[in-house]
Structure 1
Amino acid sequence: MELRTVNVTRYVTPLREGGSLPAIAEADDEFLYVLKFRGAGQGVKALIAELIGGELARVLGFKIPELVFANLDAAFGRTEPDEEIQDLLKASVGLNLALHYLSGAITFDPAVTPVDARLASQIVWLDCMITNVDRTARNTNMLIWHKELWLIDHGAALYFHHSWDNWKEQAVRPFGMIKDHVLLTRATELEQVNAEFKAIVDETVIRDVAALIPDEWLAEDPSEAAQRREVYVQFLLLRIAASDKIIKEAQHAG
């Protein structure tokens, strides 16, 4: 499992609907990306959640825009006239995360695009496991591109890492906020999906995904970075082990 690294060459436009002020940017491979900045409000933790959530989704067969590491040079953005953006660029020198920009994609609307019970159950299962609070009717974080459903933006997931206290207890706790999930009422095959998906997301997969996290995003000290990485691994292992109970709670919430 590996992510490409690109160098950002051009800041195209900010995406102001995102709270962390992501942007469309061009890289040295001449592709456009939605760039998530390490210097934004939630810092590298949002990038870690984006990386883990996105790559787990890819393993499970969901359509996810390619994720890449995006390197931002210190000289980049000096000519940017907007002070807020210039400050963000200065704070984001180094390795950031970007998603391939899906040109022409439209926001998923459940009233326009029906989602079958199986796919709805698969998405709800993933979001229960990674504690993704941000797939609501107000902000679905799903796109329709070439008539297919694509998942984006997992930066609000794994919120336990904003406070490392009691992370083991949090790992096995039901996900109460699943009640607001945009697809919960359609997710009528959660038990079947749970049996299939928990067999796929085994320890090898979880460790492979966690290994993608750059040390510099975890801690300055390499030994501390290894400890933090292991917490993510153990959190996900505990969560998958408790998936039967977690899924039952989601069914009751629906």
Structure 2
Amino acid sequence: MNGIERVLAFDDRVRIRAPADSVCWGVAGSVGALNAVGLLLLMRRVVGAMTADLPPLHLFTTAIIAGAVVFGGRVIWRGLALSREGHGVGSKRVLGWGGSTGIVLLALGCSLGRGVDWLLWLALVGVDQWQLRSFLRSQGTATTARLSSPKSGRGFMGTASAVDDEAIAANELQRLVRMRDADGGEAIHGTLRAEFVAGQRQATLHVGFCPPLERAPVVEVETGDGPDAEVKVAQSFAHGARLEVRLASVAEEDCWVIVELSAKTAADERGFGGFSRIGIN
């Protein structure tokens, strides 16, 4: 893949991400609107401005619409989670519990004075709680995760044309590519998976460079798919590096975080092909 093709591929990813962002904002706005309507109806009930009960057909239609907004919104959000940035555990919890709160507010606002209506609302709340647990458990995982980090929009691996359109499989822990940059320096681009068990917050990754580089490289890292986390380079040597990955909060269940790595050696002290430059007096 040459430079022009990589630019075109990047443009295609931007075009795909833009509508995905719009859809996710629409989902969040719909859940917010549901909460606003439910709160407004409840306040009118409390102050006595609304005393009549909804006809059964209207009540059933309202419950169906509320369920479609909440359940459908979660499915759409989870489906688009891998194609856009900012899908951390925090935003997922806000959307998940926001939908549940909206249903409860709407139920109280529509059926505060008629107990028989709660047969419908309790069934809806039960389905909501079942889906909410499944929604919060998911980490947006799939059988594959893109090498190009959704948080950066570029990804270190974007410079490796041989693997630009590949993915790291769900059972792969590391994938490394060694190449020579245009300036003659060696570079190692890689994607790593940091695994966490329930109750764990920090994980250590070790990546080896074999054969070793000529000198300790400049190592850059960033997180990709998975829950919110930060990664830092703890040690960097010519033969490898040690990375520390720390979650934003303790893992509630088993999960993983994708880490992208780029290790480069400077070429200013070396000629092309790795031969040292020797000054002649």
One fold, TM greater than 0.5? no
Q: TM-score range by the shorter chain?
A: under 0.3
Higher RCO structure, 1 or 2 (CA under 8 Å, sep 6+): 1
Give me the TM-score of the superposition, normalised by structure 2.
Answer: 0.23
